[in-house]
Amino acid sequence: MTKQIVFSIALLITIGVFSYTINRIVSFFKFTRPAFPVKDFGKRINVMLSVAFGQTKIFRKPIIGFFHALVFWGFCVIILGSLEMVIDGLTGTDRALQFLGPVYNIVIASGDIFALLVAIAIVIFLSRRLFFHIKRFEGIEMKKISHIDANIALSIILLLMISLLTMNIGYIEYKSLMGEEIIGLYPISTLFTGLFTSGPAESFWLMYEASWWTHILLIFVFANILPYSKHFHVFMSVPNVFLSRLDPLGKLPNMGSITREVKLMLNPDTAFAAAATDVPVERFGVKDAEDASWKNYFDSLSCTQCGRCTSVCPANITGKKLSPRKIMMDLRARMKEKGPLMVKNGRDFNDNRSLLRDYISEEELWACTTCNACAKECPININHPTLIIDMRRYLVMEEASAPGELKAVFNNIENNGAPWQYSAEDRLLWAKDLEINVH
Q: Are 169 and 189 in contact (CB under 8 A)?
A: yes
User: pLDDT-based confidence at 78, cuts 50/70/90?
Assistant: very high
Q: Is the per-residue pLDDT at 276 higher than 60?
A: no
Tens-digit pLDDT profile for residues 426-436: 877 877 778 77
3-class secondary-structure state, position 98: helix
Q: What is the distance between the alpha carbons of residues 142 and 152, in angstroms, rounded to a whole number?
A: 15
Tens-digit pLDDT profile for residues 98-148: 998 899 999 999 999 999 999 999 999 999 999 988 888 998 999 899 999
Q: Are 185 and 109 in contact (CB under 8 A)?
A: yes
R_g (Cα) of the chain, nearest Å: 28
Q: Are 7 and 88 in contact (CB under 8 A)?
A: no
Closest of 213, 186, 215, 210 to residue 114, by C-alpha: 186
Alpha carbon 263 to chain centroid, angstroms: 37
Which contacts of 179-182 are long-range, i.e. CB under 8 A and separated by 24 or more positions?
A: none
- The CA-CA-CA angle for residues 196, 201, 205, to 5°, reads 90
Closest of 291, 301, 281 to residue 228, by C-alpha: 301
Q: What is the distance between the alpha carbons of residues 210 and 67, in angstroms, rounded to a whole number?
A: 29
Tens-digit pLDDT profile for residues 386-413: 999 999 999 999 998 888 888 888 888 8
What is the reported pLDDT for 422? 80
CA atoms within 13 A on the CB side of 31: 25
Q: Are 315 and 246 in contact (CB under 8 A)?
A: no
Task: For CA atoms 191, 196, 202, 206, give the dihedral sign.
Answer: negative
Mean per-residue pLDDT, 167-178: 91
Q: Are 285 and 398 in contact (CB under 8 A)?
A: yes
Domain 2-30+61-234, CATH: 1.20.950
Tens-digit pLDDT profile for residues 354-365: 999 999 999 999
For the question of whether the overall pTM of this predicted structure is more than 0.85, the answer is yes
Q: Tell me the angle at which helices 2-29 and 324-345 cross, rounded to the nearest 10 degrees.
A: 100
3-class secondary-structure state, position 353: coil
Closest of 437, 439, 415, 438 to residue 427, by C-alpha: 415
- Please name the amino acid found at residue 370: T
Q: Give whole-number Cα distances, 113 to 185, 186, 235, 325, 371, in Å.
A: 10, 8, 23, 34, 42
Tens-digit pLDDT profile for residues 187-196: 999 988 877 7
Q: What is the distance between the alpha carbons of residues 330 and 328, in angstroms, rounded to a whole number?
A: 5
Q: Is the per-residue pLDDT at 41 higher than 60?
A: yes
Residue count of the chain: 439
**Architecture of 256-421 per CATH?**
Orthogonal Bundle (1.10)
Tell me how far apart the 2 most distant CA atoms of the chain are, in Å. 104
Q: What is the distance between the alpha carbons of residues 244 and 238, in angstroms, rounded to a whole number?
A: 10
What ranges do the domains of the chain cover? 2-30+61-234, 256-421
What one-character DSSP code corresponds to residue 269? T
